[in-house]
Structures are given as C-alpha cells and as structure tokens.
Copies of this chain bind each other. A is one copy, B any other.
Amino acid sequence: MTALQIVEPAAADACCTSSGLPVLGAEEAQGKAQLFKALADPNRLRLLSIVKASDGGEACVCDLTEPLDLGQPTVSHHLKILVDAGLLRREKRGTWAYYSLVPGALERTAGVLSDL
C-alpha cells in the first residue's frame, strides 16, 4: 500500500540520461489519474460547467438531465463520479438533490498539473 516506487540506476550505455530526481510514484499517480478520469468525459465537463454557471452555484438533477440529452440514471451516475472525485458536493433539500462545486477543487486540480 505504502511502497514508494524505487527507481534503479540501470547502467547507462549511450542514451539513458537518468537523473535521480524525485518523480511521481506509482500510488500517487494512481490517485491523481483517478481525479483526471473524472474530468475525462465530455458530459461530466458540461455538468461541472452548468453547475458552476447556475444561479446560486448549485443545480438539481432536473436542471442537468435536459441540456445534456441523457437519461436521468446516467446523469445521476456521472454526478456520483464527480462527487466521489471531490469536485462536487451533494445536498438534499426535500425531494430534490442540489449539486454545487466544492470550493477550490478545480484550483487544486489545476495545481496537480504544476506539481507533476
């Protein structure tokens, strides 16, 4: 679980300019890839965009089903993925479920790219 990937020197021949710099470990890469996986679908990007642009920064599922031209179960599925990725928050009020951006989540994700 906590084993960091050890990179062995591997005797250079003529190419192979291995510098011993710290590099993204296998486990970290796994987690960060998971985050980008959540963003790697056009419909999920549009969901984020709509939620962000919505009045009050939140939208319920009924707001999201029509513009995406997707079935309601599919939208629910995408929203769950975005929530699990830490990008959206879910708040249930009465019968409706309202989704909103997690503050700073997008910025934090952007930061991951710089820290590569």
- A: residues with CB less than 8 A from B are 5, 7-8, 10, 15-19, 21-24, 26, 29-30, 32-33, 36-37, 39-46, 48-50, 52-56, 58-60, 62-63, 66-67, 69, 96, 106-107, 109-111, 113-114, 116
- Report Cα–Cα, A32/B24, bound state, in Å: 24
**Residue pair B63, A18 in contact (C-beta under 8 Å):** yes
Q: 12 A-B residue contacts at CB 8 Å?
A: A18-B54, A23-B46, A23-B53, A23-B67, A29-B43, A33-B39, A33-B42, A33-B45, A39-B40, A40-B40, A106-B113, A106-B114
**Residue pair A49, B36 in contact (C-beta under 8 Å):** no
**Residue pair A63, B22 in contact (C-beta under 8 Å):** no
**Residue pair A67, B7 in contact (C-beta under 8 Å):** yes
Q: Assuming A15-B96, A66-B10, is B54 touching A29 (CB within 8 A)?
A: no
Instruction: Report A92 CB to chain B, min CB distance, Å.
Output: 12
- Report Cα–Cα, A116/B109, bound state, in Å: 13
- Report Cα–Cα, A29/B66, bound state, in Å: 16
